[in-house]
Amino acid sequence: MTKPTPTFYVLHGEDEFTRSETLADFKRRLGPPDTVDLNTMVLDGKRLTLGELHHACDAVPFLADKRLVIVTGLLSRLSPRRKQTLSEAKQKLLDDLANYLPHLPPTTRLVLVEDRSLPSKHPILKLAKQEERGYVKRFDRPDARDLPRWISKRAQKHGGDIEPRAAHRLAAVIGADLRLLDQEITKLVTYRDGEGAVTDTDVETLVPYSQDAVIFDLVDALGQRDGSTAADTLHRLISEGEHPLGLLGMIIRQFRLLIQVKTLKDKGASPRDISKTLGIHPFPARKLHRQATHFTPVQLEKVYRYLSETDIAIKTGKMDAELALDLLVAGLATTER
């Protein structure tokens, strides 16, 4: 016997990109966009009452077969905090909701959206799994090991292909920001235009954070006082055509940002706060937030003075640029923690 079409859905988990894409695809399958939009209502579950939910779900579709109601954050609101129980009012709302969901009108599609994973014991989650009219899907971000595979599948979805090494580089550069990854994959596949797979060189050339990522590696090595890795990274950049003065400028900019990030982090700022305050993308903000743990404020000020002195020595001809960078990296790598 064919299972009835669900009338209520629970979409939960931290992978906002795939969750949003799934919901958009669901809307497309309901009918023409103009008609679906006329019959779609989005409600804030943090303040929603059961009466308001009844009113939205029990309404008759307008010139359409289905009505779509999307509720965000309701189930998290009705999920007790650790070692606590729900208030009497919230428990009543939860019980009433559980009694109402199996009796939704067949013309309604109710989607309960949560931006975090719900506990497996959540009553509505269990109800949606047990009820033939219920549906549950959890959206977890791919971990670091699975990210290159996700990138490869995404490239294929966009009508292209990507070499394994390029997929690993893109994963290392962007991280688990799936929305940004998808934007870069689309750009890379379009650039290739069917002429072979996306290469490591394509990623390095077209992805704006690729070069920054190498500078992050260099500063990471300096922060961990790993002079050998720092020197190897420096000479690899020079051998690839980077001018020593350009590299010095990037290193100076990195430490200037680190000083600002260190100050903000010591005041309790999160990577997201830092991204907004400094006007930088979340990817470098996360990396800088982590790197700041390797240095004290005093060390960062000392490093910045050292960088300024090196810059002046090169520009006034007192020191060869490449030699100055070698001495700079050696000096920074042996700086006391």
**Residue 175: inside a domain:** yes
194 and 216 inside one domain:
no
User: Residue 56's pLDDT is what?
Assistant: 95
**Residue 2: inside a domain:** no
Residue type, 240: E
> DSSP assignment, residue 98?
H
Cβ-based neighbour number of residue 253 at 10 Å: 13
Domain boundary among 183, 206, 229: 206
Domain boundary among 115, 138, 161: 138
Buried b (16+ CB within 10 A) or exposed e, 210-245: bbbbbbbbbbbbbbeeebebbbebbeebbeeebebe
The average pLDDT across 263-273 equals 91
Calpha distance 147→162 (Å, rounded):
13
Residue 336 above 60 pLDDT? no
44 and 110 inside one domain:
yes
Report the candidate in 150, 167, 66, 164 with the shortest Cα–Cα distance to residue 109.
Answer: 66
User: Residue 212's pLDDT is what?
Assistant: 63
CATH value at residue 155: 1.10.8.60
- Structure tokens belonging to residue 227: 């002079």
- Determine which of 45-54, 150-159, 259-268, 288-297 has the lowest per-residue pLDDT on average: 288-297
**Helix residue spans in the chain (DSSP H):** 16-30, 33-38, 50-58, 74-77, 88-100, 123-130, 147-157, 164-174, 178-192, 200-206, 210-223, 227-239, 244-266, 271-278, 282-291, 297-315, 321-333
Calpha distance 119→126 (Å, rounded):
10
Domain boundary among 84, 114, 138: 138
Place of tokens 């990109």: 17
User: Residue 337's pLDDT is what?
Assistant: 47
CATH value at residue 248: 1.20.272.10
pLDDT class of 155 with cuts at 50, 70, 90: very high
Phi, psi torsion values for 9, nearest 5 degrees: -125, 145
234 and 319 inside one domain:
yes
pLDDT tens-digit readout, 70-119: 999 999 999 877 767 888 999 999 999 999 999 999 999 999 999 999 99
**Residue 1: inside a domain:** no
Angle between helices 227-239 and 321-333 (to 10 degrees): 160
Residues 6+ away with beta carbon under 8 Å from 193: none
Residue 127 above 50 pLDDT? yes
250 and 177 inside one domain:
no
Number of domains in the chain: 3
User: Residue 107's pLDDT is what?
Assistant: 95
pLDDT tens-digit readout, 190-230: 999 888 999 988 988 888 766 666 677 777 777 777 888 88
Domain residue limits at 197:
147-206
Beginning with the edge strand found earlier in the chain, give each strand of the sheet holding 134-138 in spatial order: 40-44, 67-72, 108-114, 8-12, 134-138
314 and 248 inside one domain:
yes
329 and 268 inside one domain:
yes
User: Residue 246's pLDDT is what?
Assistant: 80
User: Residue 209's pLDDT is what?
Assistant: 64
246 and 193 inside one domain:
no
The answer to whether 153 and 186 have CB atoms below 8 angstroms apart is no
256 and 299 inside one domain:
yes
231 and 317 inside one domain:
yes
226 and 188 inside one domain:
no
Q: What is the mean pLDDT of the chain?
A: 88
Residue 22 above 50 pLDDT? yes
pLDDT tens-digit readout, 285-318: 887 888 888 888 888 888 888 888 888 888 888 8
Calpha distance 5→1 (Å, rounded):
12
Calpha distance 72→47 (Å, rounded):
10
15 and 132 inside one domain:
yes
User: Residue 95's pLDDT is what?
Assistant: 94
The average pLDDT across 19-31 equals 94
218 and 201 inside one domain:
no
